[in-house]
Amino acid sequence: MNGKGVHFNLVFQLYYILLTASLFVVLISMPGSGSKAWDARIKATISQMRSAAEMSRIKTGDYVGVVKDDEFTKLRESVRSIQTGADDNVCIVNRVFNFVNIDKKSYTDVLLVNGDGSKWCYRAELRSGSISWCADSNGYDGYADEGGCFGENYSCKGGDSIY
């Protein structure tokens, strides 16, 4: 083998090592898919919960039955599993070497139904840590205002008003 072939092989090997090392660094530093996709799933599920609550009201005549409604309960459990679920898109290197800061944060969700069954609201925290997402018997489906769906307020807005 002449000197030129050895030189090419050495450069190629150095290039290959550098490329492999840089890919390894990128994989280690790469975060998961982020919380936006998880938040979108929570928002979509809460929108389905609003429809399930209306179906329950049609069946029973009020919203009191929404607490025991199978469809609504499954959707609520789905929101909870999305809130606390592991990020499946985390790189295997991060999982093996535990480079990912896996925090087992607890998320809250609140379901309120008033005594006569005429009003309800549901509020759940998003994984991004922003304002909670909310749906209520007024047909609202969106961000919860401060004080919304809290205490005796069965609206997602701060005051118990129809929007």
Query: What secondary structure letter does DSSP report for 108?
Result: -
The residue ranges of DSSP E strands in 3-161, in sequence order, are 109-113, 120-124, 133-136, 141-143
- pLDDT given for residue 48 in this prediction: 94
Domain ranges in the chain? 35-89+104-143
Structure confidence at residue 32 (pLDDT): 47
**Cβ distance 46 to 134 under 8 Å?**
yes
Do residues 149 and 123 lie in contact, with contact meaning Cβ atoms separated by under 8 Å? yes
* Residue 145, burial from CB neighbour count under 10 angstroms (0-12, 13-18, 19+): middle
pLDDT digit string, tens, across residues 97-136: 655 555 556 778 899 999 999 999 999 999 887 789 999 9
Question: Quick one: pLDDT band at residue 84, thresholds 50, 70, 90?
Answer: confident
pTM metric for this prediction: 0.67
Q: What proportion of the chain, given as a percentage, has pLDDT over 90?
A: 42
What ranges in 61-158 are assigned the alpha helix state H? Answer: 70-84, 92-96
Pick the CATH number of 35-89+104-143 from 3.30.2010, 2.10.260, 3.30.1300, 3.40.50: 3.30.1300
